[in-house]
Structure 1
Amino acid sequence: MKPFLSFFFVWFSFKATAQETMEITYQVLPILIEDDKEEEGVYTYFKLSLNENYSLYEYIERIQNDQDLGKSYGFIRKTGILQKDLKNNEFTENINIYGQDIILQDNLPEYPWKLEKETKNILDISVRKATALLNDITEITAWYSPNLPAKHGPEIYSGLPGLILELEIRTDYGDILEVKRYTATEIEVKNKELKTPPLSKKGKRMSLKEYQEFHKEQDQRFHELYNSGVDKD
């Protein structure tokens, strides 16, 4: 990884050149916490390719050699390409999740971000903390870099005054705390133009609200199955 000052220079060169694309690799880890016992799922990897106003977010296929593939919750993931258009405040995504194909289209959500004073370094880049409450059971912590002023992030998360390099979503179901952690592991600037891939027309069309209701219903089914398989003795 390049030193911070070198990377800082590369970023401004990147912004001035329409033919270049920044690529960020995120490592995603699901965690289940029950009775103060933490169980990690299977790592997955995603790539965020972006310019100032537009981004593509897609799953990276990797072979898992050293993890327990029996932890099925690690495989309950979205696959496909998510396209974000910050200029027009909209996104589109082809999703295959829980075995169902979905075409998700909607405006980008506005998160109630609260900017904090806490800072740290990720990949030798200074980042600042931001938090948001999504609902009564879900809270988000993000770490973003004001020195990388693209307002992008993993999944559909955006809207901070800088690129999100780490994101943690914590959902408290009462008996189980579900954590999903995204961490940037690599940043590159490539000499290529960001091109829009064709979207698949296969699947059921949903708004974000409809998808969240579907996801909540499937999550509840999963947790019921998970609890029924846990030895309580």
Structure 2
Amino acid sequence: MIRFKWFIVLVAILLCICAQAQDFQGKAVYQSKTQVNFDFGNRNIPEDRKKAIMKRIKEANEKTFVLNFDKTASMYKEEKKLGIPDGRGGGRGPRFGAMTGTDGDLYKNIKDQRYLIKNELLGKIFLIDDELETLEWKMGSESKKIGNYTAFKATATKTIKRPNMSAIFRRPGRGDENKDEEKKEEEFSIKKVEIVAWYTPEIPINQGPGLYWGLPGLILAVNDDITTIVCSEITLNPSEKMEIKAPNKGKKVTQAKYDEISQEKMKEMRENFRNRGGRGGRRN
């Protein structure tokens, strides 16, 4: 095991030296799928309507992302799907990323160990500026092929905070007005999960999809308890040079401040929804 780890490190170092001898750039395309369990609670909704809602939620959480990278920085953007409206008319279901600030244009600078996310929240543009989280990766000897590349397994533990959409849009029952603190806790779930990543030393950068980074090679696949991201296409040193620039528009906030703002917005959405009695109004 020790010899194997030293072999991986040596390969990564040698490939890094080769990469640094040129203006190294690349593009990776990722497919992302997030499982969403949405509880309709006590709302009286026809089954065909429920199925249509769940279909929209599923489609909204199946996405394609493009990661453009060089030796020190990267830009991770969603590739928008044609024919899926962004508007207010319900063409998209609830999206976890919009509320957690991970759904916008994501710039990572490995040298400075910082990230910037340009994100829209209910019509307002925010620029999240914060420090990259350093995960304690445990590298194993297990390997597999992902496309044309040999990838090695690594695991880490990460605390993840997610919005609970079912709690936000739950229709109030009797006595709920006295449970404000309990509801507030339900709006977000916070738990530790195991992250499983697959990286390839054949592409000697410590970048990856989303906020993942820090392995001796590009992360080709990553999975937490509900989201799976897998690389489907890679282009190295494209003929046209890419310009990887940090976003600079929007109200600059830290991740913690953005979480606070989004939680307030979610509370407003919940109150507005419940005051209307759910979609279509509440009958007495």
TM-score by length of 2: 0.59
Match for 1:55: what amino acid?
S
Structure 1 partner of 2:58: 41
Shift of residue 32 of structure 1?
Answer: 2.3
Q: Distance in 1 between matches of 2:266 and 2:141?
A: 34
User: Greater shift after overlay, 184-193 or 132-141?
Assistant: 132-141
Conservation of the 8 A alpha-carbon contact between 1:138 and 1:169: no
Structure 1 residue 99 displacement after superposition:
4.7
* Structure 1 position 108 matched with structure 2 position 132: yes
Give the counterpart letter for 1:106 in structure 2: D
Instruction: Work out which of the residue numbers 250, 256, 262 in structure 2 matches 1:202.
Output: 250
Deviation of 1:33 (Å): 4.9
Gaps of 5+ in 2: 1-14, 40-53, 85-89, 160-189, 280-284
C-alpha distance in 2 between matches for 1:52 and 1:116:
25
Change (3 A) 1:74 1:34: closer
CA distance, structure 2, for counterparts of residue 221 and residue 169 of structure 1? 29
Please identify which structure carries the higher strand content.
1
Task: Give percent identity, aligned residues only.
Answer: 24
Instruction: Report if the CA contact (8 A) 1:23-1:48 is conserved.
Output: yes
Q: Is the 8 A contact 1:153 1:163 kept in 2?
A: yes
Query: What is the CA deviation profile of residues 62-89 of structure 1, one whole-angstrom value per residue up to 9, with x for unaligned ones?
Result: 2268xxx867135854554222111122
Structure 1 residue 216: Cα displacement = 6.6
Change over 3 Å in CA distance of 1:76–1:111 after alignment to 2: closer
Give 1:56's match in structure 2, choosing from 52, 69, 75.
75
3-state SS in 1 of match to 2:35: strand
Shift of 1:218: 6.8
Instruction: Specify the SS of the correspondent of 1:134.
Output: strand
Select which of 138, 158, 166 maps to 2:213: 158
Q: Could you report, residue by residue, the CA deviation over 1:20-68 in whole angstroms, capped at 9, with x for unpaired residues?
A: 5200011111112589xx9882221111111111111112112268xxx
Describe the SS at the equivalent of 2:258.
Answer: helix
Question: Paired residue for 1:21?
Answer: 25
Q: Which runs of 5+ in 1 are unaligned?
A: 1-9, 171-178
Amino acid paired to 1:17:
Q
Number of aligned positions between the proteins: 203
Task: Report the AA paired with residue 36 of structure 2.
Answer: L
Contact 1:76-1:98 at 8 Å conserved across structures: no
Sort the Cα spacing of 1:58 and 1:144 in 2 relative to 1 into closer, same or farther, 3 A: same
Runs of 4+ in 1 over 6 A off after TM superposition: 10-13, 216-225
Secondary structure of 1:210 counterpart? helix
Shift in alpha-carbon separation, 1:209–1:132, aligned structure 2, 3 A:
farther
Please state how far the C-alpha of 1:146 moved relative to its aligned partner: 2.1
Paired amino acid for 1:181: T
Code of the aligned partner of 1:207: T
**Pairwise CA RMSD:** 3.5
Letter of the 1:25 counterpart: V
Q: What SS does structure 2 have at the residue aligned with 1:137? A: strand
Larger radius of gyration: 2
Give the C-alpha shift of residue 154 in structure 1.
Answer: 0.9
Encode CA deviations 1:183-231: one digit per residue, 9 max, x unaligned: 111101212333244634323x222333345567778999998xx99xx
* Deviation sequence 1:102-141 (CA, Å, 0-9, x none): 2111221111222233222111311111222213723222
Q: Distance in 2 between matches of 1:103 and 1:128?
A: 34
